[in-house]
Amino acid sequence: MISLAALSVAYAGGRRALDGVDLSIAPGERVALIGPSGAGKTTLLRVMGANLRPTGGQLQLDGLDPWALNARQLQGLRGRVGKMYQAPPIPPRQRVITAVLAGRLGQWPLWRAVASLIYPLDIDGARAALAPFDLAERLFDRCDQLSGGQLQRVALARLFYQQPQLVLADEPVSALDPTLARSVAVALNEDAKRRGATLIASLHAVELALSEFSRVIGLREGRIVFDRPAAQLGVADIEALYAGVPYASAPEAHNPDAPSARPRLTRCA
């Protein structure tokens, strides 16, 4: 459960990245965040991941105020959160197996985390996580030997190996071609649905948000413009959110969980 009440984040000079945000997300929901660049999507994800302390208002994760916890408790809370990025922060010289096993470093005691860096402690687990992405045979390759798309799949395998209760994906598909972008979005949703995990993703591709996520939140200038089921959003809502700002679309694809009628958007950057 994630709850935000009158939450604000202000930076030096008084600029507000988030301004009085009220939001509640139930366990197991799959939510897309959309909005123009600078709308506050990344800041909101950082706050919900307990990586950025708000300057005003309240945040609760599973009924806990992260900033009232001690350092060890806060580390444990963060260890239950999985993160996915547009450019996965994987060191080029790192082995694929090490990158995957890093998914549980926040859950393991220090001795096991250090030992696994010296010699991988769960080779079978890493191989199983990579297998659905056709990368099991690359287990001991260095990450700089992989393509960008393969690195993105390694990041997915790491996330799936971690099995977090909350997944925060910050523009995880913006640098990918449409086919790979949709496959990543589908994989994230299927994993979250299977495990009952909560998934929150910021997306630049509006149609991908509408077709693959059941709930869509529109942000602009640090405020929530709308928060509705994707099936209830129309072209006028999207045009109002991006008024005066270009936005990207993505090709349609079949989604068995999505309503059959969704607005088709053709405006793009």
The answer to the question of residue 61 being in a domain is yes
The answer to the question of residue 130 being in a domain is yes
CATH number for position 122: 3.40.50.300
Mean pLDDT of the chain: 86
The pLDDT of residue 255 is above 50: no
pLDDT at site 110 = 63
Contacts 24+ apart (CB under 8 A), 255-259: 255/186, 255/211, 255/212, 257/189, 257/193, 257/214, 258/210, 258/211, 258/212, 258/214, 258/230, 258/231, 259/230, 259/231
**Taking residues 154-176, what's their average pLDDT?**
89
**Taking residues 136-150, what's their average pLDDT?**
90
50 against 246, higher pLDDT: 50
pLDDT tens per residue across span 209-228: 999 999 999 999 999 999 99
The pLDDT of residue 268 is above 60: no
Residue 260: band (very low, low, confident or very high) from pLDDT cuts 50, 70, 90: very low
The answer to the question of residue 147 being in a domain is yes
pTM of the model: 0.83
Residue 147: band (very low, low, confident or very high) from pLDDT cuts 50, 70, 90: confident
**Taking residues 164-191, what's their average pLDDT?**
88
Domain count, the chain: 1
pLDDT at site 116 = 63
DSSP codes, 24-93: EE-TT-EEEEE-STTSSHHHHHHHHTTSS--SEEEEEETTB-GGGS-HHHHHHHHTTEEEEESS----TT
The answer to the question of residue 150 being in a domain is yes
pLDDT tens per residue across span 233-249: 999 999 999 998 776 65
pLDDT at site 250 = 42
pLDDT at site 238 = 94
The answer to the question of residue 221 being in a domain is yes
pLDDT at site 82 = 92
The pLDDT of residue 29 is above 80: yes
The answer to the question of residue 250 being in a domain is no
What count of other Cβ atoms lies within 10 Å of the Cβ of residue 101?
24
Containing domain of residue 103, as a range?
A: 2-241
The answer to the question of residue 82 being in a domain is yes
pLDDT tens per residue across span 96-118: 999 998 887 766 666 566 666 66
